[in-house]
Amino acid sequence: MRIVVSGGGTGGHIYPALALIEQLKARNLADEVLYVGTSRGLESKIVPQAGIPFKTLELQGFKRKLTLENFKTIRLFLKSVREAKTMLRNFKPDVVLGTGGYVSGAIVYAAAKLHIPTVIHEQNSVAGVTNRFLSRYVDKIVIAFPEVASAFPQQKVVLAGNPRAQQVANLVPNDRLAEFGLDPKKRTLLIFGGSRGAPKMNQAAVSAFPAFEGQDFQVLFVTGRIHYQQLADQVTVPANVKMVPYVDDMPAILPDINLIIGRAGATSIAEITALGIPAVLIPSPNVTGNHQLINAQSLVRGGAAELIEETKIDASFGQRIVTLMNSEQKLNAMSAAAKELGTPDAADQLIQVLESVMK
C-alpha cells in the first residue's frame, strides 16, 4: 500500500495517524508512506522524529470573526491544493487518509479531485470544521464516537475507534513509576492536565493536598512545564505526592495507574479505555464545540468515568477523590466499563476501511 497521511495542529490529530502507520508497518502493508503537514505545526517535529517521510503545505485556519485575513486563508488553500495535486501525482498513492487539522483539508480534497481513494478519521464526539468540509468528497468516514455520526453522510460512516487505542492496548504494568521516586507496587493516582498543564486543574490538585496527605496511596501530579516552578516555590508537597513538570513517555506509566484525573481529549479517551483506567474527567472548556465535555459524557454514560466541570470544582474535590481511590469495588466497576468502551483493534479496523476503498 502506498499511502499519504495528513493530520496536524494538535497531538489529537497526529498520534492516531502515527499509530495507524505503525500498525501498517507491523503488518508489512506499507510499501511507501508520506506524511503531509505544515512547517509550523506540532507534526513538523513529531513526524520526522518518527522516521517518516514528511512534506509540508502552507495553510492557515479560518478566523471565526469576519476579517480580511480569511481572504488570505482562501488564497493559501487554493495554492496548497495545486501543490498537493503535484505532490500526489509524483507520489502516486493508492489511498489518502486525513486525520484532521486544516492541512488535511487541502491534500484530501486534492486527492478526491484526482479520483484517488480517500478516507477521513474523526477522533472526537463533535466533528471538526475540516472533516465536515471533506465529508462530501471522501469515500469513507471513520469515527471514534457514535455521537458524531449524525454530522456526516450516513452511508459513508464506519465506527472503528481511535488507532491510538491499539497502540497502547498491550502495555502491561512495569517499574517506570520508580523513575519518579514512587513505589510501582502501590496504588497510584495520576493528575495530568495535558502537556502544557491546566491552571485550574493544578489549583484543584493543590487544594486536595491536605486530603491526600497520609492516605494509603500515592499521587503523581504532572503540572506542565510552564507552571511547575511557580507551584514548587509556593506549595508544600505531602510525602505521598510527587510533583513533576512533565512525563516524556506518558503511555508507559499508564498501566500502573489506578485512577486518572485529566482532560477529555480524544487521545486520552482512547488510552484510558484501551487500558481500562477509571477516570475523573475535567474537560477543557476552551475547545471547538465543547467537544471534550461531550467526549467525557460518553464515558460517564458507560460507567467508566466521573465528570467534574471546571466551574464546579469546589472544596469537596479532594475528599471526593480520596473516597473514590479508597473504593476498590467502584474502581473495578469503572475499569471494566472502560474496557467495554475501548477499541483495542481500532488501527486494524481503519486498515480494513482503507483496503475497502482501494478495491
Containing 228, the helix (H) or strand (E) segment is helix 225-234
Instruction: Match 508512506 to its residue by C-alpha cell.
Output: 33
Contact (CB, 8 A) for 319 and 211? yes
Is 124 annotated for ligand binding?
yes
> 283-314 burial, b if ≥16 CB within 10 A, otherwise e?
bbeebeeebbbbbbbbbeeebbbbbbebeebe
Is 11 annotated for ligand binding?
yes
Contact (CB, 8 A) for 187 and 217? yes
First vs last C-alpha separation in the chain: 12
**Helix 11-26 to helix 346-358 angle, to the nearest 10 degrees?**
80
Is 56 annotated for ligand binding?
no
In the 8-state DSSP scheme, what is residue 155?
A: G
Is 67 annotated for ligand binding?
no
- The rounded distance, in Å, linking the Cα atoms of 257 and 271 is 12
Contacts (Cβ under 8 Å, ≥6 apart) of 181: 242
Containing 219, the helix (H) or strand (E) segment is strand 218-222
Containing 253, the helix (H) or strand (E) segment is helix 250-253
Residues annotated in a binding site: 10-12, 124, 195, 292
Residues annotated in a binding site for UDP-N-acetyl-alpha-D-glucosamine: 10-12, 124, 195, 292
